[in-house]
Structures are given as C-alpha cells and as structure tokens.
Amino acid sequence: MKPLVLYRVDLRTADPASALRRIDPASPLLTGTDLAATRGDGVFETVVVVDGVPQAVEAHLDRFERSASLLELPSPDRSLWRTAVETVAAEMDVPRGAVKYILSRGDEVTGEPTGWALGFAPTHHRSATPPELDVVLLDRGYRSDVATTAPWLLQGAKTLSYAVNMAALREAHRRGANDVIFVSSDGYILEGPNSTVIARIDGEYVTPPVEFGILPGTTQSDAFDALTDGGDRVAVRGLTVSDLSGADALWLCSSTRGAAPVRSLDGVAQQVDRAITQRISDFLNARKA
Ligand code: PLP
C-alpha cells in the first residue's frame, strides 16, 4: 500500500474541528504501549474511495459499531468517524483508493482509546475490474455456532488481530492459489480472510449467514442489491462444501476488490461469469456513498 493521507482522531472530543488533526503519513503515531500494537486490541474498517467518494460509508459505520460493541470498546461517535472518512477521502488525489480507520483500546498506561484514519492507494487491485481468483478451502477450526457458544473468540468482529487471516493467505500461496474460503469444523462455508462468499446455485445467489461468526459484508450486501435490481434471486443460508462444489459460479466480495470471480477452487476450474461480474462491478463503482 502507498500511504497518502493520515489523520489522528482525538477521541476525547466529538467536535471534528478539534478532534481531527492531519499529520505526515510517514510520522510516528502510536506509543509503544498502545494496545493496538501490543495486543491487536481494537477494531477497524476499510472503505473504498472511487473518484474521491467513499462508498458504503453507513454500512461500514454500522459494522464498526458492531465490532466495537463485541469488543466492549466505547461506542464510536458516528458523526466524528463519518467526518474523518469524508475528510481523508476528499484529500486523496487518486481515482481509486481506500480509507482505513481504526479504533484502538488505546494506550495501556493512560487508558485513553486512540483513533486514526489512513487514506492509501492499494498497490494491488487498483483497477475497477476485480481480479479472477484461485481459491483453496481451509479449515477455520471453529464450529458454525462459535459466535453464540464462544463469543470471547470474537468471530464476526472486524478486529485488528488479522495475523491468522494473513497466515491463511500465505498457506493459499504455498498451495499455488491466491485466496481462501474458510470452512467451519462442522462443514459449513464461512468467508474469506478478507472477503464474503457468494455462490450461484440453481440460478440463486447465496451467501452464508452472519450467525456463523462471519462479518456482515458491505460489498456482498450491495452486490445483492445489484442482483435483485436485475431480477435475480438472492438468499442468505448455510452452504456445505458439497453445495459449493455444485455451484455454477462463485465470487469473493470485498471493499477494495469488489466482487472478484473465483476461477478455480482447490485446483478445480470454475466457470467465470464475466457478464454478471461486470454488472455487479458497474453497480458497485457507481455508488454515491
Ligand atoms: N470478511 C472478512 C473477514 C473481511 O475482513 C472482509 C473485509 O475486509 C469482508 C468479509 C468483506 O467485507 P466488505 O465487503 O465490507 O469489505
């Protein structure tokens, strides 16, 4: 990634004029005792910015609030964070970038939460056309009821602890692929390390339920709007590995890449529906907020 614009978000005030301070993106930001750095204890969101317009802002704020609540962090001030995202987005001079905004439990010594918002240009997937993916299925090691039976595992929260997700992507690369779909220990399809699954089965577009301990995907949700606008059927329900093998097309949806079609699953070629992919991309890229 290429960092472009960085704002510190001072959480002691809700007034954007005094809370938001632009700093050099190369300058130090955190103390050595910030729990974001020492324990990955915080939450974040990444919003795509197309021609200066941050997209799905309210859906990202909803998920930010949900993640903060799951971690028992102070509830984020929506208006402050919205202003932070819009301010950073407006100051980024790239056709397609992203804003990552972070709420940390804060400095362990002072007990003050910390926040910042970083505008950056992704070095991969900069184009408006999503990449075609080679995907492997990997066991996540949790049952599909983990969110209710073991909520302290924080499945379904977008926390800063992404080391496991990054390790899964390295495992995919070792296997000659470039992305992952996690499977629950009881055999249900979950999500990617940074994406939501959509499978087309018998003409219906299906995504797994968030009750399985996965993130509510903002891109998947908007992709479903694109599909229903075009008269297609969509559904949220559990999918097994064999359901996925029987799907006639698959996508992994995420803010920075959009709806990326899967061209192979565990080494087996998958049909790529470029016409539908284009229709979803056009819809996503035309979002106004
Ligand atoms: N699931 C996980 C684990 C993610 O990290 C992400 C995004 O990074 C998604 C799903 C997709 O979410 P969105 O489409 O809102 O970017």
DSSP secondary structure string, the chain? -EEEEEEEE-TT---HHHHEEEE-TTS--S-TTBHHHHH--EEEEEEEEETTEE-SHHHHHHHHHHHHHHTTPPPP-HHHHHHHHHHHHHT--SSEEEEEEEEE--BTTT---EEEEEEEE-SSS-SSSPPPEEEEEEE-SS-TTHHHH-GGG-TTS-BS--HHHHHHHHHHHHTT-SEEEEE-TTSBB--BTTBEEEEEETTEEEE--GGGT----HHHHHHHHHHHHTT-EEEE---BHHHHHT-SEEEEEETTTEEEEEEEETTEE----HHHHHHHHHHHHT---
Whether residues 139 and 254 fall in one domain = yes
Mean pLDDT in residue range 166-176? 98
Query: Which atom of ligand 1 lies at the shortest distance from residue 255's CA?
Result: 16
Quote the domain boundaries for residue 67.
2-121
Beta strands 204-207 and 196-201, pairing class: antiparallel
In a domain, 127, yes or no: no
Query: Which atom of ligand 1 lies at the shortest distance from residue 221's CA?
Result: 14
Whether residues 10 and 109 fall in one domain = yes
C-alpha of residue 109 to centroid of ligand 1, in Å? 32
Query: Which atom of ligand 1 lies at the shortest distance from residue 63's CA?
Result: 15
Asked which of 121, 146, 171 is the last residue of a domain, the reply is 121
The predicted pLDDT at position 129 comes to 82
Whether residues 29 and 64 fall in one domain = yes
C-alpha of residue 17 to centroid of ligand 1, in Å? 30
Whether residues 152 and 234 fall in one domain = yes
By most ligand atoms within 8 Å of CB, the mutation choice from 194, 212, 257, 283 for ligand 1 is 194
The predicted pLDDT at position 45 comes to 98
Q: Give the chain's domain count.
A: 2
C-alpha of residue 254 to centroid of ligand 1, in Å? 5
pLDDT tens digits along 115-168: 999 999 987 655 668 999 999 999 999 999 999 999 999 999 999 999 999 999
Q: Which of 194, 198, 132, 196 lies closest to 168, judged by CA?
A: 194
C-alpha of residue 215 to centroid of ligand 1, in Å? 6
- Cβ distance 114 to 34 under 8 Å? yes
Beta strands 2-9 and 233-236, pairing class: unpaired
Q: Whose CA is nearest to atom 6 of ligand 1?
A: 194
The predicted pLDDT at position 125 comes to 59
By most ligand atoms within 8 Å of CB, the mutation choice from 158, 159, 189, 207 for ligand 1 is 158
The pTM assigned to this predicted structure is: 0.96
C-alpha of residue 37 to centroid of ligand 1, in Å? 21
CATH code, domain with 27 = 3.30.470.10
Whether residues 172 and 260 fall in one domain = yes
Asked which of 121, 149, 168 is the last residue of a domain, the reply is 121
In a domain, 96, yes or no: yes
Whether residues 167 and 278 fall in one domain = yes
Whether residues 162 and 31 fall in one domain = no
Whether residues 221 and 86 fall in one domain = no
C-alpha of residue 111 to centroid of ligand 1, in Å? 29
Whether residues 104 and 150 fall in one domain = no
Q: Place 203 in a pLDDT band, splitting at 50, 70 and 90.
A: very high
Whether residues 168 and 274 fall in one domain = yes
Ligand 1 pocket list (CB less than 6 A) = 46, 191, 193-196, 215, 217-220, 253-255
